[in-house]
Amino acid sequence: MEDVRVLVVEDDDAISEPLVAGLRREGFSVTLVRTAAAAMAAPPADLVLLDLGLPDARGFEVCKRLRARSTVPIIIVTARDDETDRVIGLELGADDYVVKPFGFRELVARIRAVSRRTASPAALPGPQLIGTLEIDRRSHRVAIAGEVVSLTPTEFDILALLAADPGAMVTRRVILAEVWDPHWYGTSKTLDVHIASLRKKLGNPAWIETSRGVGFRLAIPE
pLDDT tens, position by position, 179-218 = 876 555 556 778 898 999 999 999 999 999 998 888 999 9
Beta pairing, strands 147-149 & 141-144: antiparallel
Question: Based on the domain organization, do 37 and 105 belong to the same domain?
Answer: yes
Which domain range does residue 96 map to?
5-114
Query: How far are the Cα atoms of 41, 47, 49 from residue 118, in angstroms, in the given order?
Result: 24, 12, 18
Q: What is the CATH number of the domain that holds 199?
A: 1.10.10.10
The pLDDT value given to residue 140: 85
Task: With cut-offs at 50, 70 and 90, classify the pLDDT of residue 88.
Answer: confident
Q: Which of 91, 114, 137 is the last residue of a domain?
A: 114
Q: 95 and 129: one domain?
A: no
Q: Are residues 105 and 127 in the same domain?
A: no
Chain-wide mean pLDDT for the chain?
87
Query: According to the model, what pLDDT value does residue 184 have?
Result: 58
Do 193 and 87 touch, CB atoms closer than 8 A? Answer: yes
Q: Looking at the structure, do residues 202 and 140 belong to the same domain, yes or no?
A: yes
128 and 108 inside one domain: no
Q: What's the angle, vertex CA 139, arms to CA 90 and CA 133, rounded to 5?
A: 75
CATH number for the domain that contains residue 37: 3.40.50.2300
Determine the straight-line distance between the first and last CA of the chain, rounded to whole angstroms. Answer: 44
